Structure 1
C-alpha cells in the first residue's frame, strides 16, 4: 500500500482529532481527481428542435434540465446528445413529433434547476426530464438538502401540468480517475442521494428512474467505450445507454396522462415510497411510480427486464 494510503487508513481508524486529517486527505484526493478529469465550459451543438416532424399527431414538448450528463458533455455532434436521442427515440415510440429544449448546464447543481425552468416561462412542456445530482455530491451538498430542493422543483412542474421524469444520481464509484478511498466515499454519497431523490420525486408526483450503477459494469469492463475522453463523462455509447432507460419512463408517463387514470398495477405491487427507493437504488434501471398524485405514500416499482 502506498505511504499516502497507509496514512489515510491510520487516520480513519484513529478517529477523534485525526478526523480532520482524513478529511484533508480526501480533499487532496478530490483535487487530484479533478485535475486528472479536467473541466471545460464547452458544450455540444444545440440539440433543440423538432424530431419526427413528418409524423402524425400533436407535437410533444420535452424540456431537458440538469447537469453535464443532461447536456451531453464531451460529445461533438448534436445528434449524439441525450436530448437529441430522447427526441428521436420518443418520436419513434409515440409516433408523434417531439420538440426538445435542453436548458441543462455543465456544472449545475439541484439549486440551479429553477433558473433553468425560468429561461423561457412561455414555453410550456408536456414532460420535463431531469438528470442531476453529481455536482451536489462533488460540492458536498447534504443529500437531504439536495432532495428537498428537487422536491420543490418537481412539485412546481407537476402543478403546472407537466409530467416529470428524473434520472437519479449515478454511482460515482464507477469513475476511475477518482482514487481510493475517495471513490468509496463518492459511491456511498451518490447512492444516499439517489435514494433520497427517489423519495422526493415520487412524493412530489414525479416518476424516478434509477441510474445507479446501471452503466457500472460496462464502465468497468469497457471503460474505453463507455467513458468519454476525460474518463469521467460518458461517451456517445454511454449516453445512449442512459437514454435507453429514460425513454420507457417518459413514454409511460405520457401515455398514463393520455388515458387519464393512475397506474393500474395490482394493489399487491404497491410498497411504501421509502421501500421503493431502497429497491431502486439496488436495481439500476428501475422506475418508481407514484400510486397517487403529490403526497402519496405508496408507489409501484417497475423493474427493468435484463437482456438474456
Structure 2
C-alpha cells in the first residue's frame, strides 16, 4: 500500500507543478499584453452638458457609468465620446433635450460603480447607462462576484427611480495584443461574465445589451477602423457602433416608463432569464428586458439583426 500512495503523491505534485507553470505562463502573457496595450489616466474632454436644448420635450437626464469604454478612451474630441453620442442620438429619437453626466473612470471595475454613483448625489438621472466588465476579467475578479456587485448597483438605481441599461462585457478573445492561450482564457471568462451580468441586471430590473460585437466578428473583419491605436480600445467608429446598440435599449426603457406599460406578450413569448442570457452571449447586440412574470424570472429578448 505505501507504494501506490507515493505514486499518487508524485502524480499530484507533478500535476500541481504543471498547473502552476501554466498559470505562470498566463500571467507572463498578461504582463506582455498589458505592456503592449499601455495604461493611462488620460481621458477625452468632458462630454457633460445639454444636447438638443432647442427641442420641446422635458429634459431627460442620462448618467454614464463604467470603465474606459464608457469614457471613450483614446478619442480626442468630446463629441466623439460615447456619452456625447448617446446625448445627440437620444435627443434626436426622443425629440427632447438630453442632459448627460459621465462619471465613468478609465480602469474602473464593477466594484467602483457605487462610488461613481455617489460623486453627485443631488443630481437625479432618469436613466443610467453602464459599460463595465473588461477590467474585472483582466484583474481576475470571478464572474460570480462581479455580477453580484453589478446587481447591487442596478437595484440601488432602480430603487431611486432610475432606469438602467447595461452594456455587458465584450468578447476579449479577439484583442490583438493578447496571444494564445491567454486569448482563449480571456474569451471564455469574458463570455461567462457577460452571461452572468445579463442575469443579474435583468433580475434586478434593468435591461442588458450584449456588446460582444465590439470585439467580435465585426471587429475581426474591420480591425483597421474598429480598434484604436492601442489595438485594444475601440476607435471612434467602434464607439459609435457600441452606442448604436445601446440607444434602442435606452429609448425602449424610457418610453416604457413614460407610458407605464408592462410586457403584454403571450406567455410563450417569454423565456427564462438564464436562457435569455445564453441567447444574448451568442448573438451580439441582443437586448434583454425584464418581465413581471411569475417570480420575476422571465425576460423578453430583442435580437439585433446584422445588416446584409
TM-score interval, normalised by the smaller of the two chains: over 0.9
5+ long unaligned stretches in structure 1 = 1-13
CA deviations on 1:112-134 (whole Å, 9 max, x unpaired) are 00000000001000000000000
Counterpart contact for 1:64–1:130, Cα < 8 Å: yes
Which protein shows a greater Rg?
2
More displaced stretch, 136-145 vs 265-274: 265-274
What is the alpha-carbon distance in structure 1 between the residues aligned to residue 204 and residue 255 of structure 2? Answer: 19
More displaced stretch, 198-207 vs 255-264: 255-264
What is the alpha-carbon distance in structure 1 between the residues aligned to residue 214 and residue 178 of structure 2? Answer: 18
CA deviations on 1:259-301 (whole Å, 9 max, x unpaired) are 1021233321101100110011001000111012996100001
Matches within 5 A, 1:276-291: 276-291=276-291
What is the alpha-carbon distance in structure 1 between the residues aligned to residue 122 and residue 159 of structure 2? Answer: 15
Question: How many residues were matched structurally?
Answer: 295
Shift of 1:216: 1.7
| 3-state SS in 2 of match to 1:100 | strand
Matches within 5 A, 1:41-120: 41-120=41-120
**CA separation of 1:279 and 1:15: change in aligned 2, threshold 3 A:** farther
Matches within 5 A, 1:154-193: 154-193=154-193
Give the match for residue 271 of structure 1. 271
| 3-state SS in 2 of match to 1:263 | coil
CA deviations on 1:92-127 (whole Å, 9 max, x unpaired) are 000000000000000000000000000000100000
4+ long deviations beyond 3 Å: none
Does residue 22 of the first structure (1) align with residue 22 of the second (2)? yes
More displaced stretch, 215-224 vs 187-196: 215-224
Give the match for residue 247 of structure 1. 247
What is the alpha-carbon distance in structure 2 between the residues aligned to residue 213 and residue 52 of structure 1? Answer: 29
What is the alpha-carbon distance in structure 2 between the residues aligned to residue 259 and residue 134 of structure 1? Answer: 35
Give the match for residue 126 of structure 1. 126
What is the alpha-carbon distance in structure 2 between the residues aligned to residue 259 and residue 266 of structure 1? Answer: 20
5+ long unaligned stretches in structure 2 = 1-13
What is the alpha-carbon distance in structure 2 between the residues aligned to residue 266 and residue 294 of structure 1? Answer: 13
What is the alpha-carbon distance in structure 2 between the residues aligned to residue 48 and residue 56 of structure 1? Answer: 20
| 3-state SS in 2 of match to 1:140 | coil
What is the alpha-carbon distance in structure 1 between the residues aligned to residue 307 and residue 210 of structure 2? Answer: 17
RMSD, matched Cα: 1.3
Shift of 1:17: 2.7
